[in-house]
Amino acid sequence: MKPKIKMKKLRITEADFMLANRRAARLEEIARHGRPVSMRPTLHKSKKIYDRKRLKKAGISFDDLP
């Protein structure tokens, strides 16, 4: 007589559940809006603010500034 082959039981962990839930929510969001919606909008950087790095890239020396 052949021994019975035991089937592995599928275990869904909490991490698997969270991953599947997040993926489903993202797919639903794409279907609703047509594209992914970013949750963290980037703030507009004012050009009036003194920015030493940007001035260096533009080639403006600090002596030229009033």
Q: Is residue 20 one of the residues assigned to a domain? A: yes
Each residue's pLDDT tens digit, 6-59: 878 888 899 999 999 999 999 998 999 888 887 777 787 777 777 777 777 887
Q: Is residue 59 one of the residues assigned to a domain? A: no
User: Is 36:30 a contact under the CB 8 Å cutoff?
Assistant: yes
Q: Is residue 18 one of the residues assigned to a domain? A: yes
The model's pTM: 0.45
Q: Is residue 64 one of the residues assigned to a domain? A: no
Domain of 31 in residue numbering reads as 12-39
Q: Count up the domains in the chain and report the number.
A: 1
Q: Is residue 60 one of the residues assigned to a domain? A: no
Tokens in use for 10? Answer: 């599928």
Model pLDDT, residue 61? 65
Q: Is residue 30 one of the residues assigned to a domain? A: yes
